[in-house]
């Protein structure tokens, strides 16, 4: 589209040291026949689903990105016990869960996730898994009264009704706003094989126990009950709760978990305990190095752990407050490294905080010898980049076979056989970044996968660049978004995690494209504004449930700009960016640079003009110009004879799909 390039009047020069907006005139008269997509005014505001609009009307959300004054969340307290038969692979659990209805609504039924029913023969799934038979509920008691299994959806009758990975508890009455109810449950399931199960399982030596207890579904102010089935691909949406968990395993098997170990004297050997105590107390220089808590020669009952009683079993007890899940790992094969890390003042008491990082792995996984160091840097970096890590420890355990890693509050399961150190560092950092998104900033990972995966992927690149000085950013960021967008196989970011037909499309949409978009947003807003908005979003939504609109609105609020066009373009559409220099003509002492906007994604066109003496000047065709529907514009540069190069976005802030047409030299 080079028609009528210079039919309009000219132009004001853009010769300046810092970015400024030159006067850009339409190149040719713009008319409705132009093939450039023009955003209708209604699309220039943030996409607001009905549930979000209702939440704003009811005062639980706002259009500034702050939680509303009437914001509420449900709460639960879990007291759980479980034991694992390491020979038969059977997990047996029981517990009492108190559910607090803090919503303004009277509830006639409650929803509980039975994630292990993913492994039932007749489950709805979107990936292959080993069949274990799913979970067996052996007792469901409500306020001391036994509940039977019912088939009816009639909520006037008490009972529980299982629907795939969800169990509905019919109360037979209403649970009033402000009231609580006690649910007693007992259950068992066969732990699936790690070799083909996503995110958890066992291989005989290592038991990663996640999604192992009945967990209340989230009931929130935007969607009510969120009871999407667990189908194996899309992840989770979890409410905040307190946990008190007792885990019974054979002596000699180490246990690590979400939460703090409440009874170290009963389960750890005096040697291991002494090493941990000295590390916690900061004896020796802080951050001086890695301490071996249990070495390969020290494994086993009476050496790594206490010896156990007559039955050779030990019960490990962990407690955690205000976390969205509880996961644990046990193995008799692990060695255990630990380190102390300074994170600044996490609890606001004016003093520095020093959580421990732990790495547990089988000693033949030699790459893992560096993992405690990787985890320590990850916590250190992320505490500086986002805000100080608030939990008492971060524990990284080896063994996952499907997928690179999976995150849980205070712990992560990671593959034992990484490609190389950059890959192992990268997956460690990525999973630890999930402590902030979505463990602390508790978004819905199923319906808004990008809201934690995109945020974590953005942090991966930033942390790796710091840990491996000199590593090219481009090798970390990857080009999968650009490739998919060029090939036309891209699907939009705002899509339910189970609704991508191909894993590759999901990866691009949930990880890579939002990472690219956040990078572009930083370029657009500048480092200082971007970081202020980024941290403010995390702070506002700590231990809460942000919707995408809460993130968008916070960035609008903090930057003082209406970025609706940006959110629409990069999160709701598959529009692509291609800005090109299509012509440079001399007019007296000026160069007239014609820039064409060939894609459908509007972004500012940032020009860098290099002079023969090596100095550079920056100019910008603002996004508002393209949003009016123009497809090309002319920028005038003074002192034509001294220009050695003109280039669009040489800093590569924006994901332009064709960089071959972005520069000009005389």
CB atoms within 10 A of CB 272: 22
Rounded Cα–Cα distance for residues 630 and 28 (Å): 9
Which stretch in 31-39, 206-214, 452-460, 638-646 sits in contact with Zn ion by CB under 5 A?
452-460
Residue 187 host element (H or E): strand 180-190
Closest separation between CB of residue 199 and Zn ion, Å? 11
Closest separation between CB of residue 460 and Zn ion, Å? 9
**What share of residues in the chain are helix, strand, coil (percent, to 5)?**
25, 30, 45
Rounded Cα–Cα distance for residues 126 and 235 (Å): 12
Bridge partners for 361 per DSSP = 335
Q: How many residues belong to the site for Zn ion (CB under 5 A)? A: 2
Where does 143-204 show beta strands of DSSP type E?
145-146, 159-163, 166-175, 180-190, 201-202
Closest separation between CB of residue 443 and Zn ion, Å? 12
Which whole-number Å values give the CA distances from 564 to 532, 552, 569, in the listed order? Answer: 19, 8, 8
Closest separation between CB of residue 512 and Zn ion, Å? 12
Q: Would you call 167 helix, strand, or coil by DSSP?
A: strand
Closest separation between CB of residue 305 and Zn ion, Å? 32
Closest separation between CB of residue 240 and Zn ion, Å? 20
Which stretch in 198-206, 317-325, 455-463, 474-482 sits in contact with Zn ion by CB under 5 A?
455-463
Rounded Cα–Cα distance for residues 180 and 98 (Å): 7
Residue (396 or 609) nearer to Zn ion, CB = 396
Count CA atoms closer than 13 A to 102's CA, side-chain side. Answer: 17
Residue with tokens 């709805």: 124
Residue (253 or 458) nearer to Zn ion, CB = 458
Residue (456 or 646) nearer to Zn ion, CB = 456
User: Which of 423, 421, 420, 399 is closest to 412 using CA atoms?
Assistant: 399
Closest separation between CB of residue 400 and Zn ion, Å? 13
- Paired tokens of 413: 């399961």
Residues 411-430 within binding reach of Zn ion (CB under 5 A): none
Residue (353 or 453) nearer to Zn ion, CB = 453
Any idea what DSSP says for residue 11?
Answer: -
Which stretch in 106-114, 299-307, 456-464, 600-608 sits in contact with Zn ion by CB under 5 A?
456-464
Determine if the peptide bond prior to 190 is cis (ω within 30°): no
Closest separation between CB of residue 495 and Zn ion, Å? 17
Which stretch in 217-225, 451-459, 606-614, 623-631 sits in contact with Zn ion by CB under 5 A?
451-459
- Paired tokens of 120: 């039932």
Q: Where are the alpha helices (DSSP H) in 225-335?
A: 264-267, 270-280
Residue (434 or 540) nearer to Zn ion, CB = 434
Any idea what DSSP says for residue 436?
Answer: I
Residue (406 or 634) nearer to Zn ion, CB = 406
Closest separation between CB of residue 479 and Zn ion, Å? 19
Which stretch in 303-311, 447-455, 487-495, 605-613 sits in contact with Zn ion by CB under 5 A?
447-455
Residue (254 or 456) nearer to Zn ion, CB = 456
Residue (291 or 422) nearer to Zn ion, CB = 422
Beta carbons of 13 and 638 less than 8 angstroms apart: yes
Residue (103 or 451) nearer to Zn ion, CB = 451
Binding mask 13-42 vs Zn ion (x if CB under 5 A, - otherwise)? Answer: ------------------------------
Which stretch in 248-256, 445-453, 524-532, 647-655 sits in contact with Zn ion by CB under 5 A?
445-453
Residue (168 or 541) nearer to Zn ion, CB = 541
Which stretch in 28-36, 175-183, 453-461, 594-602 sits in contact with Zn ion by CB under 5 A?
453-461
Which whole-number Å values give the CA distances from 334 to 123, 368, 415, in the listed order? Answer: 34, 11, 14
Closest separation between CB of residue 453 and Zn ion, Å? 5
- 292: Cβ contacts below 8 Å, ≥ 6 apart: 275, 335, 336, 337
Residues lying near Zn ion in the complex (CB under 5 A) are found at: 453, 456
């Amino acid at each position: 589209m080079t028609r009528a390039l210079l039919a309009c009047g000219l132009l004001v020069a853009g010769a300046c040291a810092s970015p400024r907006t030159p006067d850009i005139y339409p190149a040719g008269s713009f008319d409705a026949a132009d093939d450039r997509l023009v955003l209708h005014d209604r699309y220039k505001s943030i996409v607001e689903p009905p549930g979000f609009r209702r939440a704003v009307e009811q005062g639980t959300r706002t259009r500034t990105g702050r939680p509303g004054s009437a914001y509420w969340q449900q709460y639960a307290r879990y007291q759980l016990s479980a034991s694992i038969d390491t020979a038969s692979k059977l997990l047996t659990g029981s517990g009492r869960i108190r559910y607090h209805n803090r919503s303004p609504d009277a509830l006639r039924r409650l929803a509980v996730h039975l994630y292990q029913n993913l492994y039932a023969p007749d489950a709805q799934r979107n990936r292959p898994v080993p069949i274990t038979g799913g979970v067996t509920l052996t007792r469901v008691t409500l306020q001391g009264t036994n509940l039977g299994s019912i088939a009816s959806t009639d909520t006037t009758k008490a009972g529980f009704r299982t629907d795939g990975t969800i169990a509905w508890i019919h109360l037979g009455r209403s649970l009033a706003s402000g009231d609580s109810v006690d649910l007693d449950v007992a259950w068992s399931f066969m732990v699936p094989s790690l070799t083909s199960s996503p995110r958890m399982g066992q291989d005989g030596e290592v038991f990663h126990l996640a999604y192992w207890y009945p967990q209340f579904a989230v009931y929130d102010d935007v969607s009510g009950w969120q009871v999407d089935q667990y189908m194996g691909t899309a992840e989770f949406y979890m409410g905040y709760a307190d946990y008190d968990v007792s885990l019974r395993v054979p002596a000699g098997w180490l246990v690590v978990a979400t939460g703090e170990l409440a009874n170290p004297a009963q389960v750890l050997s005096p040697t291991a305990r002494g090493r941990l105590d000295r590390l916690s107390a900061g004896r020796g220089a802080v951050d001086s190095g890695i301490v071996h808590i249990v070495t390969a020669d020290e494994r086993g009952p009476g050496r790594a752990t206490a010896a156990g009683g007559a039955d050779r079993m030990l019960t490990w007890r962990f407690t955690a407050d205000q976390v969205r899940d509880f996961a644990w790992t046990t193995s008799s094969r692990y060695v255990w490294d630990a380190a102390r890390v300074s994170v600044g003042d996490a609890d606001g008491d004016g003093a520095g905080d020093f959580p421990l990082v732990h790495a547990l792995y089988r000693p033949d996984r030699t790459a893992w010898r560096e993992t405690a160091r990787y985890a320590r840097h990850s916590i250190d970096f992320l505490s500086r980049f986002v805000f100080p890590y608030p939990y008492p420890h971060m524990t990284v355990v080896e063994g996952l076979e499907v997928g690179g890693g999976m995150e849980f509050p205070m712990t992560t399961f990671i593959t034992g056989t990484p490609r190389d150190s950059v890959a192992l560092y990268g997956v460690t950092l990525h999973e630890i970044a999930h402590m902030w998104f979505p463990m602390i900033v508790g978004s819905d990972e199923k319906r808004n996968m990008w809201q934690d995966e995109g945020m974590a992927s953005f942090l991966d690149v930033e942390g790796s660049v710091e840990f491996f000085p000199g590593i090219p950013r481009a090798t970390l960021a990857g080009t999968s978004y650009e490739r998919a967008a060029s090939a036309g196989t891209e699907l939009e970011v705002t899509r339910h995690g189970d609704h991508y037909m191909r894993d590759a499309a999901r990866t691009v949409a949930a990880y890579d494209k939002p990472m690219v978009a956040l990078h572009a947003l930083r370029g657009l807003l500048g480092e200082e504004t971007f970081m202020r908005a980024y941290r403010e979003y995390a702070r506002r939504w700590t231990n809460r449930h942000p919707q995408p609109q809460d993130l968008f609105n916070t960035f609008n609020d903090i930057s003082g700009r209406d970025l609706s066009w940006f959110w629409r373009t990069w999160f709701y559409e598959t529009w692509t960016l291609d800005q090109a220099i299509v012509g440079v003509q001399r007019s007296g002492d000026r160069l007239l640079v014609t820039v064409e906007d060939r894609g459908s994604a509007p972004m500012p066109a940032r020009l860098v003009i290099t002079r023969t003496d090596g100095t550079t000047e920056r100019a910008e065709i603002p996004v508002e110009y393209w949003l009016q529907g123009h497809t090309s514009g002319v920028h005038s540069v003074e002192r034509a004879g001294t220009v050695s190069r003109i280039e669009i976005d040489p800093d590569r802030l924006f994901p332009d799909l064709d960089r071959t047409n972005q520069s000009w030299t005389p």
